[in-house]
Structure 1
Amino acid sequence: MTTDWTITIDCLDVRALRAFWMLALGYVERPPPSGWDSWEDWMAAQGVPEDEWHDGAYLADPEGRLPGLSLLRVPEPKTAKNRVHLDLQVSGGRSVEPALREERIRAKVAELVAAGGTVAWESPGAAGLDHVTVRDPEGNELCVV
């Protein structure tokens, strides 16, 4: 039996990273639990202090197929390279003509940079651009492949 899982990113600014990762993944805010009109209503019922209501965000695949992404406010900034990262697979894979793959990769990278990301480095492959490593607004790495 498999185990349900999500990925959690620790961050300083939940709102900034929520906007960035919603754009990066095409995700939406996860709706509140069944029977609740809002996350605030649910948190109040759970006894979560109001000053903690915006310490996290929960993003979901709108099609319900892929794992969720959680953002959790922490007091310290990122200090080292990620040991785990996401690969945004936008190019269509190596069976796609190299110029088209590169066009798709660069288009997604441009969206992410406009949303506050920065290009860390580009990695060429045998037939052209293989992937671009991007950092989100707080420096977490992801690859656009």
Structure 2
Amino acid sequence: MTPFQLTFDCADPAVMVRFWAEALGYEAEPAPVGFADWNAYWRSAGVPEGELDPAGGGCGSIVDPRGSGPRIWFQPVPEGKTVKNRLHLDIRASGGREVPLEIRRERIEAEAARLEKAGATRLRVLESDGHDNYAVVMQDPEGNEFCLA
């Protein structure tokens, strides 16, 4: 397997780190060994002071504490999001098709409510009569779409 990370372009990496760590059960990536924090690491790499995190942390990435999911980096960019994502995350909150539809719906709704409190916005519900499916389309704090399924 080829290692990879996911990268989100964003305006405020700190907001995105907090939200997505909460949403995915991830944690802010610790600074590399030998550095007090990420700003110290970035200084050692030659990043100018004006580009460092003014709050002092400098962490723009999250990692799976179990080590199985990809690293996610939140790259600051000057422009805002203008169109629909071409790639989005599906958060599997329902338990899968072996779980009865009503229980899946309850689990998805509970997760949607939790993530709304964390800063997400609900866009729409995906369901149709006669189909064994229920999902909720949401947006993170910077407008990136994702689904709860």
* Global fold match (TM > 0.5): yes
Identity rate, percent: 40
Q: Runs ≥4 in structure 1, deviation > 2 angstroms?
A: 34-37, 53-56, 125-129
Match of 1:49 in 2: 48
Instruction: Name the residue aligned to 1:14.
Output: 13
Q: Once the two structures are superposed, what CA deviation does each residue of 1:44-84 show, in whole Å capped at 9, x if it has no partner?
A: 11111122223761100011111011101111110000010
How far the C-alpha of 1:14 sits from its partner, in A, is 1.6
8 Å CA contact 2:121–2:140 kept in 1: the answer is yes
- Amino acid of the structure 2 residue aligned with 1:79: T
Alpha carbons 1:56, 1:71 under 8 Å: kept: no
Distance 2:134 2:71 in 1: 26
**Structure 2 contact 94–104 (Cα < 8 Å) conserved:** yes
2:139 paired residue number: 135
Matched residue type, 1:115: A
RMSD value, Cα: 1.6
Residue 31 of structure 1, CA deviation: 1.3
**1:83-133 CA distances to partner (integer Å, 9 max, x unpaired)?**
100000111101101111111101111111112211111101545652100
What displacement does 1:22 show? 1.1
Kindly indicate whether the alpha-carbon contact (under 8 Å) linking 1:11 and 1:138 is maintained by their aligned counterparts in 2: yes
Aligned AA for 1:51? Answer: G
| 2:3 alignment counterpart | 4
Query: Is the CA contact 2:28–2:59 (under 8 Å) kept in the aligned structure 1?
Result: no
* 1:38 CA drift (Å): 1.8
Size of the aligned set, in residue pairs, is 144
* TM-superposed deviation, 1:37: 2.9
5+ residue gaps, structure 1 = none
Deviation for aligned residue 1:29: 0.8
Q: Is the 8 A contact 2:20 2:26 kept in 1?
A: yes
Partner Cα separation in structure 1 for residue 119 and residue 79 of structure 2:
20
Aligned residue for 2:61, secondary structure, equals: strand
Q: What is the deviation of 1:39?
A: 1.3
Match of residue 97, structure 2, among 86, 89, 94:
94
Q: Which residue of 2 aligns with 1:35?
A: 34
Determine if contact 1:99/1:128 at 8 Å carries over to the other structure.
no
